[in-house]
Amino acid sequence: MTLTERFLKYVSFNTTSDENTKMTPSTPGQMIFAQYLVEELKSIGLQDVDLDKNGYIMATLPANTDKEIPTIGFISHMDTSPDMSGKNIKARIVENYDGNDILLNEEKVIVLETEKYPEILQYKGQDIIVTDGTTLLGADDKAGITEIVTAMEYLIAHPEIKHGKIRVGFTPDEEIGQGADHFDVPKFGAEWAYTLDGGEIGELEFENFNAAAAKVTFKGLNVHPGYAKHKMLNSMRVAHQFVSMLPRHETPEHTEKYEGFYHLVGMEGSVEQSSLSYIIRDHDRDRFERRKKEMQHITNKINAEFGEGTATLELRDQYYNMREKVEPVMHIVDLAFEAMESVGVKPNVKPIRGGTDGSRLSYEGLPCPNIFAGGHNFHGRFEYVPVQSMEKAMMVVVKIAELLAKK
């Protein structure tokens, strides 16, 4: 099976995750895909292939040399984002892309426009896999899985490439922040690992956001509006006031690079009770802590104005910046950097404006930088991935194993 055929097979599985089911994996499609992967890993020759009750896959490519070489791992996630449907994905290959807009869906007039997505122009002449505009594609992160499996198959087929023991791990529910919840780091048994969960070709990341989730609940008092003077407390208006008290331009649409933000992701309301759901992000740990304190400060001001108990804040840390855990072992980043250069990829070291399984795994004792998987426009109808980017990512995995053995 070619890399492209493998990827197209993988995206045919509906593996959208769902944070509301309170199960692991959160959706049955992920376990169905996991069972398929288990059989495939066995068929290509990996050993110790294991699928646990929570949908986590681990497998081993044994060393083919007697040299003392650290055991390393490669990890990707099986689920796709609930932001858009991942069911009945109709992927197609735009061969020898000509640099023009791509008509994804003639009936619905859905067009991937180069003016809106100019990054695609760098792939002129390459083969690009797109959707029909009604679903996401699933390159996040089935491209990563494709690259890892194909790299293991390549190493098995080329025993002249010496390598140490390699562990492979595929996780469920990364997109809903639960990908590392049941990952057994001691069982995995690697000294370090790499997630293949990045975007465009060349991305190499070892720092990410510190992240927290916040929910603010507002209690009001409903009275007949004709007789409400000095009696009614409209919780929706109080919630609106809370929103307006946060810094106006510290939101995702106004920030980039190392700038953090408050992001309102959900709101519900009636006169009697309303709620706001936020995510809080910042690369700098001190600024991250200050952002959480600011949420509490505004909650206190609301209660001072409208009465104690009007607003209640629930804060929950989600993950932290992996840089703190990776910096002491920067040779693992240097190795990936060298591997990229060796296969003709220009490394683009940049911060992740988000998080990966690797950020949490790094804090659990498995330092885990992130390598590009090749896709663009994740989580939406305009997602695409160049075939040549996936091929390069696959060769980066191979080259990491090869270079480590030589060192």
Joined tokens for residue 303: 């209660």
Q: How far is CA 369 from CA 22, 33, 194, 327, in A?
A: 28, 25, 5, 10
Extract the runs of DSSP E, i.e. beta strands, from 199-288.
203-205, 210-219, 261-269, 273-282
Q: Does 132 qualify as catalytic in the annotation?
A: no
Extract the runs of DSSP E, i.e. beta strands, from 202-257.
203-205, 210-219
DSSP, residue by residue, 109-124: TEEE-TTT-GGGGGGT
Q: Return the C-alpha torsion angle 281, 287, 293, 294, nearest 10.
A: -80
- Which amino acid, residue 271? V
- In which region does residue 358 sit, left (phi positive, over 0), alpha (psi from -120 to 50) or beta (all else)? alpha
Q: Return the C-alpha torsion angle 225, 230, 232, 237, nearest 10.
A: 100
The CB density around residue 382, as the number of other CB atoms within 10 Å, is: 22
- Which is the catalytic residue, given 79, 153, 383, 391? 79
**C-alpha to C-alpha distance for 345 and 335, rounded to whole angstroms:** 13
What lies within 8 Å, CB to CB, of 28 at 6+ separation is none
- Are 193 and 358 contacting, i.e. CB atoms less than 8 angstroms apart? yes
- Are 242 and 311 contacting, i.e. CB atoms less than 8 angstroms apart? yes
Q: Does 174 qualify as catalytic in the annotation?
A: yes
What lies within 8 Å, CB to CB, of 241 at 6+ separation is 302
The CB density around residue 248, as the number of other CB atoms within 10 Å, is: 9
CA-closest candidate to residue 128, choices 94, 103, 102: 94
**C-alpha to C-alpha distance for 299 and 247, rounded to whole angstroms:** 14
- Which is the catalytic residue, given 140, 174, 175, 197? 174
> Which residues are part of the catalytic machinery?
79, 174
